[in-house]
Amino acid sequence: MLKKILGGLGSSEKFEIPAHDSLLFKDIKWDRLPRHVAVIMDGNGRWATGKGLLRTAGHTAGVKTLKNILKTAIGLKLDALTVYAFSTENWKRPRPEVDFLMQLFSDYLKKELQEMHEDNVQIHFIGRIDGLPASLQKQMREAETLMQHNTGVKFNVAANYGGQDEILRAVQSLAAKVAAGELRPEEITEQAIDDALDTRGNLPVDLVIRTSGDERLSNFLLWQSAYAEFYFTKVNWPDFTPADFVAAMVDFAGRNRRFGGLKNQ
């Protein structure tokens, strides 16, 4: 039973928001949790091909993992969970895989919207949303509107997202304000840039998790991760369990964050 709770959660089993005092959270140091966790959900393709399945089966399995990790983030009372669903570079993939992913995002919203709303989640999409299919854009906007007054975890889904592209768009919007005489160059502060990014209103990223063995940022949240800790695991995203997520929290709690200074924060 313990093994089942801690590690063996099969993707087909229903997973509820874990209670604060659940066995899953027994090693958690509640006063040393990250507030904003970002996840690069990598390895769907490798998971699938390793099982002799089509890559798309890996993405389908990845949705179930995402649902469980969101529930875990809610149980941990994280302030924000930001996930990398589709990068500005992912358009280079074969057309059928791209189409499949767009349909998967749409199906996910249809199926999970109500439950996320009941779980008090505030969903937000970051990236060049206007480059996505029109019907998906509409669903995204409707989901954001539905959950805009919720007060629980901020769930940011990066779609058609690139960190450099986000900074570029922020700089362009600030430059336009300067050109219009609404802003003076010296008023372009770090806070002003923060407020011009898609993630405005979120705390800086404390922890970036990347699954499946690669150890790079891949253009994800470049500005926001300036002082983030990194946690890499070889586990492919579809196999990543709530217990694996908790292990990353426990690892983070043991880190000595100095933010350029000398003392432990």
Q: What residues contact residue 175 under an 8 Å CB cut-off, 6+ apart?
A: none
Determine the interface stretch with ligand FPP among 20-28, 57-65, 125-133, 201-209 (rule: CB under 6 A).
Answer: 57-65
Q: Restricting to residues 94-113, which ones interact with ligand FPP according to CB under 6 A?
A: 104-105, 108
- The residue (of 108 and 231) whose beta carbon lies closer to ligand FPP is 108
- Residue among 11, 22, 79, 90 that touches ligand FPP (CB under 6 A): 90
Quote the CA–CA distance of 110 and 139 in Å, as a whole number. Answer: 8
Q: How far is the CB of 257 from ligand FPP (least distance, A)?
A: 28
Quote the CA–CA distance of 214 and 45 in Å, as a whole number. Answer: 14
Q: For residue 31, how many other CB atoms are within 10 A of its CB? A: 6
- The residue (of 33 and 119) whose beta carbon lies closer to ligand FPP is 119
Quote the CA–CA distance of 254 and 45 in Å, as a whole number. Answer: 32
E-strand ranges in the chain read: 36-40, 80-87, 122-126, 154-161, 207-210, 229-232
Binding mask 210-239 for ligand FPP (x = CB under 6 A): ---------------------------x--
Is there a catalytic annotation at residue 42? yes
Determine the interface stretch with ligand FPP among 7-15, 55-63, 114-122, 252-260 (rule: CB under 6 A).
Answer: 55-63
- The residue (of 22 and 100) whose beta carbon lies closer to ligand FPP is 100
249: Cα within 13 Å, side-chain hemisphere: 28
Instruction: State the DSSP code for 9.
Output: -
- Residue among 59, 71, 124, 210 that touches ligand FPP (CB under 6 A): 59
Q: Beta strand 229-232 with 207-210: parallel, antiparallel or unpaired?
A: parallel
Does 75 engage in binding with ligand FPP (CB under 6 A)?
A: no
For 130-138, the CB contacts below 8 A with 24+ separation are 131/160, 132/102, 132/159, 132/160, 133/102, 135/106, 136/102, 136/105, 136/106
- The residue (of 104 and 250) whose beta carbon lies closer to ligand FPP is 104
Determine the interface stretch with ligand FPP among 3-11, 36-44, 190-198, 257-265 (rule: CB under 6 A).
Answer: 36-44
Is there a catalytic annotation at residue 214? no
Contact of 228 with 62, CB cutoff 8 Å: no
103: Cα within 13 Å, side-chain hemisphere: 8
Q: How far is the CB of 263 from ligand FPP (least distance, A)?
A: 38
For ligand FPP, the nearest residue by Cβ is: 45
- Residue among 24, 39, 63, 228 that touches ligand FPP (CB under 6 A): 63
Give me the sign of the Cα torsion angle 176, 178, 179, 181.
positive
Q: Restricting to residues 191-210, which ones interact with ligand FPP according to CB under 6 A?
A: none
The residues annotated as belonging to the active site are: 42, 90
- Which chain residues interact with ligand FPP by CB under 6 A? 41-46, 59, 62-63, 66, 85, 90, 104-105, 108, 157, 237
